[in-house]
Amino acid sequence: MCGIVGIAGTRDVAPVILEALKRLEYRGYDSAGIATLEAGKIDRRRAPGKLNKLGAVLQDRPLHGHTGIGHTRWATHGKPNETNAHPHATAQVAIVHNGIIENFRELRDELAAKGHVFESETDSEVAAHLVTDYMAQGLAPDAAAKKAVARLTGAYSIAMIFTGHDGLLVGARKGAPLAVGYGDTEAYLGSDAFALAPFTNRVSYLEDGDVVVIRGPEAAIFDAAGRPANREIKVTAAAVALVDKAGHSHFMAKEIHEQPEVVGHTLAHYLDPAGPTVRHLGVGLRETLAKASRLTICACGTSYYAGQVGKYWFEKLGRLAVEIDVASELRYRNPVYPKDGAALFISQSGETADTLAALREAREQGQTIIAIVNVPESSIAREADIVLPTYAGPEIGVASTKAFTCQLAALASFAIAAGVARGELSDIDEQRLCTSLLEAPRHIAAMLRGEGQARALGEEIAKARDVLYMGRGASFPLAMEGALKLKEISYIHAEGYAAGEMKHGPIALIDEAVPIIVIAPHDVHFEKTISNMQEVMARGGKVLLISDSDGIAKAGDVWASLEVPKTNAFVTPILYAIPVQLLAYYAAIAKGTDVDQPRNLAKSVTVE
């Protein structure tokens, strides 16, 4: 989603802002722009498309000045063209905005009636005019900014600069992340610490309703009530080096190949190999699990599918009732939360707007809030009672891969802990499950060494118009994840179904042109899944079976198969994620799509 950078500096800031915006590219965007104060006057450059386009514009017509703001825009209101690109400006103020201003129509009508003329189709431009209007009424820029943001509803983070006020930068946050960076002679605003890492590792995170007024290197923060607020300055671990592809052609390929290591790191955090046992997972977690009458799991997209796998694990190992829903539904359907309930929120970015809103709702309903997040300083991490981190490292490819398997590693450990805490698992059970889990990184590495077969099959899949995935038990969410991965990066239509559901409708789609990817570990569900597979084959379906050597041998003649190492049934979702990712990746490569930044998608979804 949109990325924001602001600098109140001591050098020409436009080139520096451009570099910092590159660090936010992973969030997904479709236009970009920068505004600076040159001799006290606002000047801006904007361009649709990627940052190299903006770079070319700046080379042609450089921007000078020591105070500036920059933005990568992921279009919500209006096409991704130059007019709709940020910064939006009046003669007095330039602003960049991430989020959605829900009451922009009313505000625009009000301001238009007073003579304000709008040039873009965006919701964001209204913020620039509102600030300008308050300044015209005699308010100082910071006071006008505070008064304006107080009138905005929806979710936003905003950065502003003002004509004639060199060194002044105002930021505001409600629902979308914004960090303040502290340098020796400069101060910064950024969507995340990663954007600010080349400048400083001293960062404070604004809280909802906060406004920050930066003058030169000094920053003063005010809370929603306008009172001066102290926000802790944290020393962040965000890496300075722009994460590179380490010799891979795409971040996605690199991230797929990092999985043995990062799943290993995540497991090392949760499991003590000496037992092996699950380590202490966080203050109060075991007690919460022991007494929880129900666990509500909530997330979006790939993180939601990780949660779906978790549901199977919690119910089986912990006999813990699980309710699960996508965040955009859960938060609005007035769910019935039990007394003594716990709610688990899963998010790679830790900033997904719907997941964060659902978390707040669950807190209001008295649930203990647990979060599995990959970004330790994110809003979701900061608002949870108990944080279970994943150690995937920065995930840059828009399609989630390593974050997913790390989420599964954390969930698996957590589910074992639930089983132990609830008296459902013996010490021997715990050791057996932990032993199998600890073998996952080795198995993943073995599969990645043999990825050639997945490449060839991915190229075949690329020829299809539609692809179906099916699986049973914990392989059902993997079928949905496989379909999501394929459609988002290759733009091939794909759906994931519970294998037993095929004959209730989707089987009508089967013909020779539709590959069916059957995810069938050799476990208790195997025979039933294979029967469903036969039903599909009897109707001309072209089956690609993903199973272990026993499963492949038993299944008989299929169009193609991909072999996964034999393992304890409990661990299979972590291993079977790998071929599913590779198939999507190589299908996308064969189709020549933009794998790391697929069309229309954003990495961190900070709008509803």
Query: Least distance (Å) from ligand F6R to the CB of residue 605?
Result: 5
Q: Which stretch binds ligand F6R (CB under 6 A): 160-168, 213-221, 300-308, 460-468?
A: 300-308
- Asked if 603 is an active-site residue, the reply is yes
Cα 596 to the chain's mean position, in Å?
A: 13
Query: Least distance (Å) from ligand F6R to the CB of residue 250?
Result: 14
Q: Does 256 bind ligand F6R (CB under 6 A)?
A: no
Q: Does 300 bind ligand F6R (CB under 6 A)?
A: yes
β-pair type (187-190, 466-471) = unpaired
Q: Does 253 bind ligand F6R (CB under 6 A)?
A: no
Q: Which is nearer to ligand F6R, 510 or 595 (CB)?
A: 595
CA torsion sign, 567 to 570 to 575 to 579?
A: positive
Query: CB–CB of 404/302 below 8 Å?
Result: yes
DSSP letters spanning 359-406: HHHHHHTTPEEEEEES-TTSHHHHH-SEEEE-------SSS-SHHHHH
Q: Which is nearer to ligand F6R, 478 or 520 (CB)?
A: 478
Vertex 237 angle, CA 235 and 239, to 5°: 130
Query: CB–CB of 321/294 below 8 Å?
Result: yes
Query: Least distance (Å) from ligand F6R to the CB of residue 352?
Result: 3
Catalytic residue among 146, 254, 311, 603, which?
603
Q: Which is nearer to ligand F6R, 72 or 347 (CB)?
A: 347
Residue bearing tokens 């991490």: 381
Q: Which stretch binds ligand F6R (CB under 6 A): 188-196, 263-271, 295-303, 430-438?
A: 295-303
Q: Which is nearer to ligand F6R, 369 or 399 (CB)?
A: 399
| Residue 211: closest CA among 151, 138, 136, 166 | 151
Map the footprint of ligand F6R across residues 435-494, applying CB under 6 A: 484, 488
Q: Which is nearer to ligand F6R, 367 or 400 (CB)?
A: 400
CB atoms under 10 Å from CB of 103, counted, come to 14
Alpha helix stretches (DSSP H) within 424-474:
427-438, 440-449, 452-461
Query: Least distance (Å) from ligand F6R to the CB of residue 301?
Result: 2
| Residue 25: closest CA among 243, 246, 302, 203 | 243
| Residue 120: closest CA among 140, 157, 95 | 95
Q: Which is nearer to ligand F6R, 32 or 399 (CB)?
A: 399
Q: Does 301 bind ligand F6R (CB under 6 A)?
A: yes
Map the footprint of ligand F6R across residues 393-432, applying CB under 6 A: 399-400
- Show the site string, 586-605: x = touches ligand F6R by CB under 6 A, - = not: ------------------xx
- Show the site string, 205-234: x = touches ligand F6R by CB under 6 A, - = not: ------------------------------
Map the footprint of ligand F6R across residues 323-382, applying CB under 6 A: 347-349, 352, 355
Exposed e or buried b per residue across 153-183, where buried means at least 16 C-beta atoms within 10 angstroms of its C-beta: ebbbbbbbbbbebbbbbbbbbbbbbbbbbbb
Annotated active-site positions, please?
2, 603
Residues forming contacts to ligand F6R in the complex (CB under 6 A) are: 300-303, 347-349, 352, 355, 399-400, 484, 488, 604-605
